[in-house]
């Protein structure tokens, strides 16, 4: 296992060098199944597509439904099927990237396999890691799956439109998350209503502007 992780780390560093050379900001997007990763990507595309070149890599066990939803938007989208595998690895990203024109891309979003455990261990060469927690999952999840939250740069709390149907407590969540990682940026929003989405867009645009101006 240590050997597998070390080999992945080396490839991830090569990916990272390539992305930096091409001025591509790469987000590794991780979450449970059904937390809203694809809806989040679709809304991000809608908001930024006129200003930036965007592409998506979709990681799934077997299906290609998510990649098709992205393609319907006219956005380059590469499907990786892991054949049952529980996470993406740097080697898969390397292969997928060969099908993308990086010179035309400012933002590459990688949708990892829906899983709050295994993706934490495999870096892909990303610029930043975003993890989505959805309100119906409960505010105790960072306590129970600490590794993936610790490894992330920004926490999106999705489905805030469902808050009143649950006992989810945003303050309790903040305490737990900042106990794990004091500087974690937490962005509550709803991909359904759009509430709070502007804060995420500001966060990502800050990371895009530098690169974009160098294209």
Q: Which is nearer to a second copy, 99 or 144 (CB)?
A: 144
Instruction: Look at residue 63 and give its three-state secondary structure.
Output: coil
Q: Write each residue from 103 to 142 as x if it is in contact with a second copy (CB under 8 A), else as -, in one continuous string.
A: ----------xxxxxx--x------------x-xxx-xx-
Give CA–CA dist 205/113, Å, rounded. 25
Q: Which is nearer to a second copy, 76 or 85 (CB)?
A: 85
Give CA–CA dist 76/100, Å, rounded. 7
By CB under 8 A, residue 165 contacts a second copy: yes
Q: Looking only at residues 45 through 64 of this chain, which bind a second copy when binding is defined by CB under 8 A?
A: 60-63
Give CA–CA dist 199/187, Å, rounded. 7
By CB under 8 A, residue 79 contacts a second copy: no
- The answer to whether 70 touches 60, Cβ cutoff 8 Å, is no
Closest CA to 91 of 162, 199, 5, 209: 5
The count of residues interacting with a second copy (CB under 8 A) is: 35
Residues that bind a second copy (CB under 8 A): 32-35, 60-63, 65-66, 84-86, 113-118, 121, 134, 136-138, 140-141, 143-147, 159, 161-162, 165
């Amino acid at each position: 296992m240590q050997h597998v992780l070390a080999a992945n780390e080396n490839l991830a560093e090569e990916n990272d060098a390539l992305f930096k050379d091409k001025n591509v900001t790469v987000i590794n997007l991780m979450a449970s199944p059904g937390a809203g990763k694809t809806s989040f990507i679709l809304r991000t595309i809608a908001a930024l597509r006129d200003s930036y070149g965007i592409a998506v890599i979709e990681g799934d066990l077997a299906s290609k439904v998510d990649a098709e939803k992205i393609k319907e938007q006219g956005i380059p989208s590469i499907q990786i099927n892991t054949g049952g595998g529980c996470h993406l690895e740097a080697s898969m990203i390397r292969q997928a990237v060969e099908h993308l024109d990086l010179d035309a891309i400012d933002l590459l979003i990688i949708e990892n396999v829906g899983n709050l455990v295994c993706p934490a261990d495999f870096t892909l060469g990303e610029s930043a890691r975003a993890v989505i927690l959805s309100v119906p999952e409960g505010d105790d999840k960072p306590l129970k799956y600490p590794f993936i939250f610790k490894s992330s740069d920004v926490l999106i709390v999705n489905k805030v439109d469902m808050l009143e149907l649950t006992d989810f407590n945003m303050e309790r969540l903040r305490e737990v998350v900042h106990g794990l990682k004091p500087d974690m940026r937490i962005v509550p929003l709803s991909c359904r209503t759009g509430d709070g989405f502007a804060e995420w867009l500001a966060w990502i645009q800050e990371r895009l502007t530098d690169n974009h101006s160098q294209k």
